[in-house]
Structures are given as structure tokens and as C-alpha cells.
Amino acid sequence: MANKPGKKYTAAAKQVEARLYGLAEAVPLIQKIKFTKFNETVEVHMRLGVDPKQADQMVRGTIVLPNGLGKAVRVLVIASGEKIKAAEDAGADFFGGDEIIEKILKENWLDYDVIVATPDMMRGMARLGKLLGPRGLMPNPKTGTVTTDVANAVREAKAGKVEFRVDKTGVIHAPVGKTGFDTDKLLQNAETLINAVVRAKPAAAKGKYVRSITVCSTMGPGVALDPAPFAVAAKA
């Protein structure tokens, strides 16, 4: 049996009209109706007209948000030789080679948010797939986390790089900042993310690509966006 919404949530939900909002009015509304004391994450949820079971309709990518995510990102770099020094100089929180892989294996060490690895380390990294894969931590060339340019990868992760990937129901879920952000910065982040998803439209996707968009905070009610402007962009 579902839990009954609390009074504060119900009061916040009543301030959201049963209509489609423009992004420029939805974001400040979310900030206004926030009722918790902590700085909530603002999320974008996009339902797409794709079939994720088909390899040629997978939607996946990364984007560096112009105003970051409002949180410190702990980056681990697994590399060898001079790449370890490059990672340290770029601001990586943790760095090392095979000894780091052993530490993760033996201790289930997971005190980081992003792992960057050089290609030569991926054979050893394969042993970590069962531990890191389900947590979304396994490095991948498609997201730029398997690279020889570890310094740039570290800087991007620290700056607020976000990975988006359609789930098995055809929905993308991604953070775009905090409720405490300046409204214009939060708007810019949300627009950047949505446009990145639109640009990632697979050639095999037919019909309406952007079915619906909802913006919400961690604990707050969702605000439905008018997908029409972005749907037009998807056709361009």
C-alpha cells in the first residue's frame, strides 16, 4: 500500500497547475514550492519515443553542465606511469594503478563518484565489472571515462559532467543542479541537458521523439513541461 503524501508535499503539489509549463516558468516554481530544509537536487525526466531494446535506438551521452551540479565530485583515476602524475595535477581525489584495483576488489572500496581509467588498465578493470557496473561506476569510452587524456576527464567530471542514458522504459533521468542555485543558472543547466538529449536522437527513431518532460526536486512534486519547442528542435 502506497504511503499517503504528507501535508507539506500536498500543499506544494496544489501550487502546480494541471497544464504544461514552459521551462522558464517551471524552474522558479520548483524553487518556490520546495519545502525541505536541505538543498535538494533538481532533476529532469524525459520520456522518449524510442525502443531501448533495439541497439540502434539507444540514447546515451554526456554533457558538461555550464554551472556544475552544486556538489563536490570525488574522482578516482586508474592509470600508470606519467598519467598518474597528470591525474594528480588535474585535481583527482584518488589515483593509482593495479594496487587501486586490488583495493576495490578486496575492500569493496566505493568512496568516489567517478572513475577515469586509461585504456591499458581496462583488462584489469574487467575484474571489477560486477561490483562497479550496477552502480554506474564502470569506465566507458562512450562517456569519456576511458581515455588517455586523464587530465581533461578529471576537469570535466569536477566541472559537472552528467551522463544520460535511456532506461528500459524509454525514460532518461538526470540531475541539473540544486534548488539553491540562481534561477538563471538552473535554467541554463536544464536547457543544456534537454538539448543534449534532443541532439542524441537516433536516426532509427520514428514518430514523436520527445514524448514528455517533467522537472522536479528530490522531494517535491513534478512540473510537466511543454515538449513542443524541443520536439521541433529534434526534427531540425
CATH number of the domain encompassing residue 149: 3.40.50.790
| Residue 1 placed within a domain | no
| Residue 18 placed within a domain | yes
91 and 42 fall within a common domain: no
| Residue 23 placed within a domain | yes
CATH code: domain of residue 180: 3.30.190.20
60 and 79 fall within a common domain: no
151 and 95 fall within a common domain: yes
Contact 132, 115 (CB under 8 A): yes
Write down which residue in 104, 137, 158 finishes a domain.
Answer: 158
Q: Would you state the pLDDT for residue 71?
A: 82
229 and 171 fall within a common domain: yes
64 and 177 fall within a common domain: yes
60 and 169 fall within a common domain: yes
Which pTM was predicted? 0.80
| Residue 218 placed within a domain | yes
Q: Which letter, b or e, does each residue of 10-46 get, where b requires 16 or more Cβ atoms within 10 Å of its Cβ?
A: eebeeebeeeebebeebbebbbebbeeeebbbbbbeb
Q: Digits of tens for pLDDT over the chain (236 positions)? A: 456 778 999 999 999 999 999 999 999 999 999 999 999 999 999 999 999 899 899 998 889 999 998 888 899 999 999 999 999 999 999 999 999 999 999 999 999 989 999 999 999 999 999 999 888 899 989 888 999 999 999 999 998 888 898 999 999 999 999 999 999 999 999 999 999 999 999 999 888 899 999 999 999 999 999 998 886 555 54
| Residue 182 placed within a domain | yes
111 and 222 fall within a common domain: no
Q: Would you state the pLDDT for residue 160?
A: 84
166 and 60 fall within a common domain: yes
60 and 171 fall within a common domain: yes
Q: Which domain holds residue 210?
A: 7-68+161-235
111 and 143 fall within a common domain: yes
Write down which residue in 158, 175, 201 finishes a domain.
Answer: 158
Count of structural domains, the chain: 2
39 and 89 fall within a common domain: no
| Residue 2 placed within a domain | no
60 and 118 fall within a common domain: no
| Residue 205 placed within a domain | yes
Q: Would you state the pLDDT for residue 232?
A: 59
- Name the grid cell of 95: 589515483
Contact 170, 7 (CB under 8 A): no
Write down which residue in 124, 158, 192 finishes a domain.
Answer: 158
| Residue 219 placed within a domain | yes
